[in-house]
Structure 1
Amino acid sequence: MEILQAEQVSFRYPEEDRDSLHELSFTIEEGEFVVLCGPSGGGKTTLLRHLKRELAPVGTFSGHLTYKGELLSELPAAVAAGEIGMVFQNPDAQIVMDTVWHELAFSMENLGIPPAVMRTRLAEICALFGLEPLLYKSVHELSGGQKQMLNLASVLLLQPKVLLLDEPTSQLDPVAAREFIMALQRLNEEMSVTVIISEHRLEEVLPLADRVLMLEGGRLLADASPRAFVQQAGSASLASRQAYLPAASRLYLALSTEARTAAPENIPLTVREGKRWLLHSKAAGASVVTEAGVCATVIRNNPAANPGAGLPATVSREESAAASGTAAPGKAVAEPAAYPPNPFSQARKDESPVKLPASSAETLLSCREVTFRYDKEGQEVLRKLTLALKRGELLAVMGGNGAGKSTLLHVLGGLMKPQRGRAELSKGITTGLLAQNPLLYFSYDTVIEELQHMAQYAGLSTEEAGREIDALLEVFQLRGVLKSHPHDLSGGQQQQTALAMMMLLKPEVLLLDEPTKGLDPAAKDRLAALLQQLRGQGASILIVTHDVEFAAKHASRCALLFDGSITAEGTPAEFFSSNYFYTTAVNRMVRDILPQALTMEDVIRTWSGSAHRS
């Protein structure tokens, strides 16, 4: 039974010259799990806001949106508010009360739910999300991830039939994001809640989806099952879609000779399926996968094997033994192919995308034995923390929600003074801090005004300002929204606008809090290119991030913040290859064969190198 339907839906914001949504038509069945994907500014947030009637933006609307056969605009207020819930992209935009307890009770009080029922629901939801220790805390003490979990819990207290989510995991650490997605899966499967989730990070959600809707430029470009969507992305004309796919699917499309012709049900989506595909390819007759030639041996040496056909339901003990080089009792292991030693570890060290300046050993920003707490008698957020940022490096600091990463940035940026220890900035060095919430940086009515006033504040001449702004508009793809109000932009476009504003200050030390939040894959690549260019010019960059793939691909050093201090640090290969959750999907897939391979590029580079030497 259909629960939501769109018929020729179009929408245009005031004073815009194009539609943000253009003639969208689709039907969503009750209990479906639907993923919305596509570039930033493609219309995903605008569509979700129209499905949540109370949040529909101001502008010109045409077409029909119905809920269970009734026009959304004609639903009773209690039904619209209670049965269709939404979790925003920016957690601060959704919280209205001062404490966690009051925030949880707020929506139920507004709908007149009896106190006894409220208490029962609160007890249930707090147990589900582990919120009991936070009940009496101020919402201002919560991390971004904790606020997002609070927002989801608040919506679920109304027991909605449809749950709309706008990039809900963008501020969650890998462990919390996985738990969040698992909670959505349980709600969908056990309670038949219809889930419509907008995401750029599809590693976890695409395997759970019934359907994928892709929006670009306000148009519906794809409406397919996840595996059919992957197969479509394998064609040359739709190759740009591959950046949105899970790692297993991207690896499959890159290395399989049968990707375009395989049955959709045989296309891997998860790490487990990707690993099974590699093992099955070997078991079908290819040479034993060796450390040097993981995929070269599987695919290149045996084109007759059908990597896409017949994914096994389980991985046999013999297959696992063969992959690890040990035999199960009574089984012989084939002789490994003769390949030279694995070139990966040395290649990664020597192939830095940026030639760092000779002064890269110079420390620009450091802190030693820093201890910080928000209240005199409160818990220590940072405890005897020591960290140094060298010239020309990109340091990625990771850690769980509430670990103190944003606090560390504020201490390093001079916005907070620690109780013990101190942060030191080299003389004459300028810093720029990008906070987690880009809305904090907006004061004017259009994007171009924001940029022009920031250029003026930076002391740039009219000619310099025009040149710098023009270059940044190209990097961040903001030309189409220059006359838009910053608050009308998508989350990714807001993030890019705030980044562009900060870049106009030309800081030598950049402190970035979740800079990839809300960015589509292409935007992340452009940001990475800009950061690497700045590194080459001698700038130093410290990013706080939950984006494991971005850190693994672009950071020169990674550090883990835990229990108030830095507990581990090293190069990406050293840091991620020893982790279980804080590592990339590619590493989890191939770590038994290539322990330090973190990205698609690592695997393909090793494969190509092995093929060249064979």
Structure 2
Amino acid sequence: MEILKVDNVTFRYPDMEKNVLQQISFSIEQGSFVVLCGASGSGKTTLLRLLKHELAPFGKQTGQIYYNEKSLDEWDTRLLTTEFGFVFQDPDNQIVMDEVLQEIVFGMENMNIPYIEMKKRLSELVHFFGVEDLLYKQTSTLSGGQKQLINLLSILLLRPKVLLLDEPTSQLDPIAAKELLQILERLNNEMGMTIIIVEHRLEDLFSMADKVIMLEEGNIAYEGKSRDVIKQIYEKDDKSFLPYVPSVSRLFLATEEKDPRKVPLNVKETRTWLHNRATKITNNNQEIIPFERKTETILKIENIYFQYEKTLPFVLKDCNLQIQKGEFFALVGGNGTGKSTLLQIAMGILKQQRGNVILREKKLKKYRLDELAHTFAYLPQHPLAFYIEETIGKEMERIISKHQIENGKERMARIAKKLNVDHLFDRHPNDLSGGELQRATLACLLLSEPEVLFIDEPTKGLDPISKEALAKLLLPLQKDGLTIFMVTHDIEFAVQYVDYCAILFDGQIAAEGTPEQLFKSNYFYTTSINRATTSINGPEVLTLEEALKQWQ
């Protein structure tokens, strides 16, 4: 039975010349699990918000959206509020109360649901999710995964028929993200709930999806069952969408077995296929290239203790780490372990209670602020917070003036051209796409010729193509001598591009080494390709490229 129908919908934001959505049409069956993906700016979030009537963006829309064969405009707004649930990308943007229990029942109270009914629903879902121990905690103390779970629970208490999710895993570590997706799969399988999810992390979603819809510049590029969509992409050799296909599926299709009907969509199916062809390994003697870490230490973190308030536990305790000059370093770990805290201590934004940060054999606190401003640069999670001026060009001019940069105009032109942002000088930061904003902010930061670039979750919310573009920006900068200190949840990105990693756990560095040393032996905290190929009569691999050398 058809529950949703999008009929020839076109949408344009005010003051924009181009339509964000262009004559979009598709239908969704009741109880379906639908994955909506595509490049940043392709119209995914706009389309998702149009389905949630009270969140629909302001602009010009043509065409109709039907829910149970009736236009959304004909439905009672109050009823639609409970029929459609919406989970946002950033869990903090959805939480309004201080205590978990208050947050969970907030929506029911607003809808004037009787107390007896509220209590009944609450007891049922709290047991279903197993969150009894969280009810009386402060929401501010929860991890990102717990916050997103609480958001989901508060929405489910309204008993929606359709659940809409806008990149719900983008702020979660790999394990928390997988746990959230497993919950969504349970809701779909056990409760028959219709789920529509916008995501860039697709490794685990293709196997769950009944339908995949891929958008490109406001148009539907591909639509259908997961294997059918993969088949279409491979038959067209569509380089724009190949990176969206799960790596385990790409491994299969890169071998001589080209039948898309048999393509594995997850680790389990891939392991079954590989076991059946284990004798066909082409190179079982993988050459081991010894790793030599760079020898000059630029930044040393010694015996750091840090707590945000005296009454709160220590976030970091006796934490030690060193960063070598010219290396690309990644700090990984679960939500709430203190990664961003450690990064901000390393650059002097936060002050530790005990311990020292050493920059080139001199304590950080001995440097003047202007010296640190020329040595360090910081690309935050939300680059918009960086800007003071109204245009990119004016912001770069402000930085040149503030830091008294010699030959500033020439340097500005050279960097802008190198990072392909010279055409953005007259644009407001709010008007840029995520990738454009990231490039522009990086250009601003490089004006002062920093020695160390600190980056906090740079791949958050980026599509696969944008991640590749980010790497193409960072790697040449590293080659030119820039030291990069990155905090990330993106294991796949770290494995592909960084030199050295460390895992932060329980306030300390639990392990460190090259990506190969750190992730190949892991069981959960590793790549899909590693989980799919480990212990199958061949060397362990982390990336698709490594796997292709062994299994083609």
TM-score where L is the length of structure 1: 0.81
Matches within 5 A, 1:116-515: 116-255=116-255, 257-259=256-258, 262=259, 264-282=260-278, 288-289=279-280, 294=281, 296=282, 342-346=285-289, 349=291, 360-426=294-360, 430-442=375-387, 461-473=408-420, 483=427, 486=430, 498-499=441-442, 501-515=444-458
Partner amino acid, structure 1, of 2:541? A
Q: Quote the Cα distance in structure 2 between the aligned partners of 1:96 and 1:155.
A: 13
Give how far 1:456 is off: 5.8
Q: 2:468 aligns with which of 514, 525, 541?
A: 525
Matched to 1:603, the amino acid is A
SS at 1:208 equivalent: coil
Amino acid at match of 1:435: P
Q: Tell me how far apart the structure 1 counterparts of residues 508 and 182 of structure 2 sit (CA, whole Å).
A: 29
Q: Secondary structure at the match of 1:238?
A: coil
Q: Cα deviation per residue 1:196-243 (whole Å; 9 max; x = unaligned)?
A: 111111111110000110001111111111001111221244233220
* C-alpha displacement of 1:439: 4.4
Distance 1:110 1:181 in 2: 28
For these two proteins, the number of residue pairs brought into alignment is 538
Q: Is the 8 A contact 2:387 2:429 kept in 1?
A: no
C-alpha distance 280-606 of structure 1, shift in aligned 2 (>3 A)? closer
Give the Cα separation in 2 of the matches to 1:408 and 1:485: 28
Match among 565, 568, 586 for residue 529 of structure 2: 586
Cα distance, 1:490 vs. partner?
A: 6.0
8 Å CA contact retained: 1:83, 1:159:
yes
Conserved? CA contact 1:371–1:419, under 8 Å:
yes
- The answer to whether the Cα contact below 8 Å between 1:495 and 1:517 also exists between their aligned partners in 2 is no
CA deviation after TM superposition for structure 1 residue 450, in Å: 5.7
1:603 corresponds to: 547
Q: Secondary structure at the match of 2:458?
A: coil
Q: Given residue 540 of structure 1, which amino acid in structure 2 is its aligned partner?
A: T
Distance 1:113 1:490, change over 3 A: farther
The 2-side partners of 1:208 and 1:100 are apart by 30
Q: Quickly say closer, same or farther: Cα 1:25–1:603, change in 2 above 3 A.
A: same
% identical aligned pairs: 46
Distance 1:604 1:138, change over 3 A: same
Cα gap change, 1:594 to 1:515, in 2 (>3 Å): farther
Once the two structures are TM-superposed, the CA of residue 452 in structure 1 deviates from its matched residue by 6.1
Change (3 A) 1:607 1:226: closer
Offset of 1:195 from its aligned partner? Answer: 0.6
Deviations 1:156-208, CA, capped at 9 Å, x for gaps: 22121111111111111121111100100011111111111111111111100
515-524 vs 598-607, greater mean Cα deviation: 598-607
Task: Say whether the 8 Å CA contact 1:233–1:240 is kept in structure 2.
Answer: no
Pair 1:501–1:21, CA change in 2 (3 A): farther
Specify whether residues 370 and 212 from structure 1 end up closer, same or farther in structure 2 by C-alpha distance, changes over 3 A only. same
Structure 1 residues 402, 78: closer, same or farther in 2, change over 3 A? Answer: same
Whether the 8 Å contact between 1:372 and 1:420 is mirrored in structure 2 is yes
TM-score by length of 2: 0.90
CA contact (8 A) 1:10 1:19 kept: yes
Whole-angstrom distance in 1 between the partners of 2:52 and 2:389: 27
Deviation at 1:516, TM superposition (A): 0.5
Q: Is the 8 A contact 1:84 1:161 kept in 2?
A: yes
1:378-422 CA-to-partner distances (Å, cap 9, x unmatched) read 212111110111111112111111211122122222222222212
Q: Which runs of 5+ in 1 are unaligned?
A: 283-287, 297-338, 351-355, 609-614
Report the CA distance between 1:30 and its aligned residue. Answer: 1.0
Say whether the 8 Å CA contact 2:415–2:443 is kept in structure 1: no
User: In the alignment, what sits opposite 2:107?
Assistant: 107
Q: Secondary structure at the match of 2:212?
A: strand
2:365 corresponds to which residue? none
> What one-letter code is carried by the residue in structure 1 that aligns with 2:473?
L
Q: Give 5+ residue unaligned stretches, structure 2.
A: 363-370
- Following the alignment from structure 2 to structure 1, what is the Cα–Cα distance between the partners of residues 398 and 69? 49
CA distance in 2 between partners of 1:63 and 1:399 (Å): 45
| Equivalent residues in 2 for 1:43-58, closer than 5 Å | 43-58=43-58
C-alpha change, 1:432 and 1:540, in structure 2 (3 Å) is: same
1:94-132 CA distances to partner (integer Å, 9 max, x unpaired)?
A: 233334333222222111122333334344444444544
Partners of 2:145 and 2:180 within 8 A in 1:
no
> What residue identity is the alignment partner of 1:373?
Q
Paired letter, 2:243 = A
Amino acid at match of 2:543: T
Flag the 1:274–1:599 CA change in 2: closer, same or farther, 3 A: same
CA contact under 8 A between 1:344 and 1:597: conserved in structure 2? no
**Which residue in 2 is equivalent to 1:69?**
69
SS in 2 for 1:207: coil
Q: 361-370 vs 431-440, which deviates more?
A: 431-440
Q: Is the 8 A contact 2:327 2:484 kept in 1?
A: yes
Deviations 1:260-279 (A, max 9, x none): xx2x4311111121122222
CA-to-aligned-CA distance 1:432-488 (integer Å, 9 cap, x gap): 2333344433556666666665566565634433442343346xxx968974662x6
Q: In structure 2, do the counterparts of structure 1 residues 67 and 96 end up closer, same or farther at CA, with 3 Å as the change threshold?
A: same
Q: Secondary structure at the match of 2:108?
A: helix
Output the amino acid matched with 2:197.
I
Q: How far apart, CA to CA, are the structure 2 residues paired with 1:449 and 1:78?
A: 46
Structure 1, 395-404 or 585-594: larger mean CA deviation = 585-594
Deviation string 1:329-351 (CA, Å, 9 cap, x unpaired) is xxxxxxxxxx7x623422x859x
Amino acid at match of 1:604: L
Question: Contact 1:11–1:21 (CA<8 Å) still a contact in 2?
Answer: yes
Determine if the alignment matches structure 1 residue 534 to structure 2 residue 477. Answer: yes
User: Against the structure 1 CA distance between its residues 497 and 19, is the aligned structure 2 distance closer, same or farther, given a 3 Å change threshold?
Assistant: farther
| 8 Å Cα contact 2:330/2:494 also seen in 1 | yes
Aligned match of 2:366: none
Q: State the alpha-carbon separation in 2 of the partners of residues 73 and 235 from structure 1.
A: 40
Gap change, CA 1:544 and 1:83, over 3 Å in 2: same
